[in-house]
């Protein structure tokens, strides 16, 4: 089963601690693919690829995806949902709004990385 982890990118750099904790939580669910979004996402993706448990990294390098605004990111996430069983955002202020927007846009199977439901 594939799991999509939404990697947190801040100012073009991977938020390593938040993303690593999310990958650790997600890898027990299946093969982990990390999605990084925003300006400089390719560099953040290279860092994500070094995390233990990551089998694949996708990057969407586009300024409209900076700050992971749910309105802009939802369509991308929904498009990737077909290939994954569940999606796991980091338990951070920036990422916590993505599941709510994703559900209203057709996403399924979000799991909170902080253990909540």
State the pLDDT at residue 19.
Answer: 93
Any bridge partners for residue 3, and if so which?
32, 86
CB 42 within 8 A of CB 69: no
**Full-model pTM:** 0.81
Direct distance between the N- and C-terminal alpha carbons of the chain, in angstroms, rounded to an integer: 20
Residue 63 has pLDDT above 90, yes or no: no
State the pLDDT at residue 98.
Answer: 65
CB 85 within 8 A of CB 109: yes
Domains and CATH numbers, the chain: 2-63+72-104 (3.40.50.620)
State the pLDDT at residue 73.
Answer: 80
Least confident segment among 10-14, 20-24, 76-80: 76-80
Question: Using CA of residue 49, residue 41, residue 114, residue 76, what is the dihedral sign?
Answer: negative
State the pLDDT at residue 65.
Answer: 86
Measured at the CA of 69, the angle between CA 112 and CA 90, to 5 degrees, comes to 25
Mean pLDDT of the chain: 79
Mean pLDDT of 85-110: 60
State the pLDDT at residue 96.
Answer: 65
């Amino acid at each position: 089963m594939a799991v999509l982890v939404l990697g947190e990118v801040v100012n073009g750099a991977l938020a390593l601690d938040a993303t690593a904790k999310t990958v650790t939580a997600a890898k027990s669910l299946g093969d982990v693919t990390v999605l990084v979004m925003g300006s400089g996402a390719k560099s953040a993706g290279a860092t994500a690829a070094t995390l233990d448990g990551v089998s694949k990294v996708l990057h969407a390098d586009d300024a409209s995806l900076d700050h992971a605004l749910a309105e802009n990111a939802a369509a991308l996430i929904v498009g990737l949902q077909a290939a994954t069983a569940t999606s796991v955002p980091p338990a951070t202020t920036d990422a916590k709004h993505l599941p709510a927007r994703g559900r209203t846009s057709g996403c399924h199977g979000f799991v909170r990385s902080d253990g909540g439901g």
